[in-house]
Amino acid sequence: MAVDTSRPLDPAAGAKGARGRARKAGTPPRGRIRNALARHWYAWAMVAPVVIVIGLIIGYPLGRGLYLSLTDANEANVERTIGINHIPATYENVGLDNFKAILQDQVFWDRLGWTVTWTVCCVALTFSIGLGLAVLLNRRFAGRTLYRSLLILPWAVPAFVSVFAWRLLYNEKNGILNKVLDAGGIDAVPWLNDPTMAKASVIAVNIWLGVPFMLVALLGGLQSIPGELYEAAEMDGAGPWQRFRHITLPGLRSVSSTVILLSTIWTFNMFPVIFLLTRGGPGDATEILVTYAYRLSFVNSPRDFAGASAWGVLILLILMLFAVVYRRSLRKQGEVW
């Protein structure tokens, strides 16, 4: 009698083997994590110190700020030590009351409007000037290396030093700018004492500080575009504007998207230029969100730690929302990062 060997003799053993194969095929998450750690332990070891430092420097203040934004903490009810006396904290949790109060206050919307205007003007002009200079410096001419070094110089100088130098230039009585105007028979300009002129002045200083970054990034992007594309376009009869529009701008798209995002975040939070140049004045004409949050926490009396933290959280949410929307728009254009 012939025996059929195509089927397993023991159904239970066959089922057990099938379950064993299923477990091997679908490795549990814990096994994947262990395999990743075992395979890439050196990379994890190298990254761990950076992660720990970032967690301490950024993570803890961020968590503390989120916590304080939900309380009524101020200078009078926080934990403090006066001499030998230790006074415990007496502030309480108030939920979202701080955020409701801020969003219902016209001060927030006024500051937000000027902050957005300041950011858009600075980023647009910085990008345009940086792109123009990058296109010029991408060509071969005598002294190109010297010009590149001079244009990058503002980036090498600390921001607060540059701001103090510009403050001297803007001095209404003894500033160099007004001395030059006076020599030409023009009356002195109140650069930092007139609201409109003060806004134009801080925008000019921030552009002066931001152009070198745009220049370096865009110049690197220009040098990565193959020269054969320009030669082929020129042979086909394309003019300078057509080559710039159809070759240069598309070739810089990935670089431009990154530098615009970074510049927007930096400018939105550009504390040194506003605070050191005008301190938000005259009046509150140049006050942006971040300088007002600083004023609540360190200048006004009593210092409002909860309110300042709530302002900081709102600033973070605004920038996160912008980054998400900006990233989605890039994904629609095929630029994924």
Q: In whole angstroms, what is the distance from residue 243 CA to residue 227 CA?
A: 11
Q: Pairing between strand 85-87 and 80-82? A: antiparallel
Is the confidence at residue 328, as pLDDT, over 90?
no
Query: Going by C-beta distance under 8 Å and a sequence separation of 6 or more, which residues neighbour residue 133?
Result: 151, 211, 215
Q: What is the pLDDT of residues 218-235, one digit of tens each?
A: 999 999 888 898 889 888
Is the confidence at residue 51, as pLDDT, over 80?
yes
Is the confidence at residue 33, as pLDDT, over 60?
yes
Average pLDDT of the residues in 291-302 = 91
- Tell me how crowded residue 175 is: count the other CB atoms within 10 A of its CB: 19
Q: For 170, phi and psi rounded to 5 degrees?
A: -85, -5
* pLDDT at residue 335 in the model: 58
What is the residue whose two structure tokens read 């007002």?
292
Q: What is the pLDDT of residues 130-148, one digit of tens each?
A: 999 999 888 887 877 888 7
- Helices then strands, counting H and E runs in the chain, come out as 17, 2
Is the confidence at residue 69, as pLDDT, over 90?
yes
3-state secondary structure of 259: helix
Alpha helices per DSSP H over 40-143? 41-54, 60-68, 97-103, 106-137
Q: What is the pLDDT of residues 2-31, one digit of tens each?
A: 445 444 444 444 444 444 444 444 444 556
Which of 73-87, 122-136, 238-252 holds the top average pLDDT?
A: 122-136
Tokens read off for 167: 């403050």
Tokens read off for 186: 């023009």
* pLDDT at residue 336 in the model: 52
Beta bridge partners of 82: 85
* pLDDT at residue 114 in the model: 96
Q: Are 130 and 215 in contact (CB under 8 A)?
A: yes
How far CA 284 is from CA of 52, 98, 125, 195, in Å, comes to: 39, 22, 24, 9
Determine if residue 139 is left, alpha or beta; phi over 0 gives left, psi from -120 to 50 gives alpha, anything else beta: beta
CA 104 to chain centre: 27
Q: In whole angstroms, what is the distance from residue 196 CA to residue 8 CA?
A: 89
- Tell me how crowded residue 202 is: count the other CB atoms within 10 A of its CB: 25
Cis peptide before 302 (omega within 30 of 0): yes
* pLDDT at residue 6 in the model: 47
* pLDDT at residue 294 in the model: 94
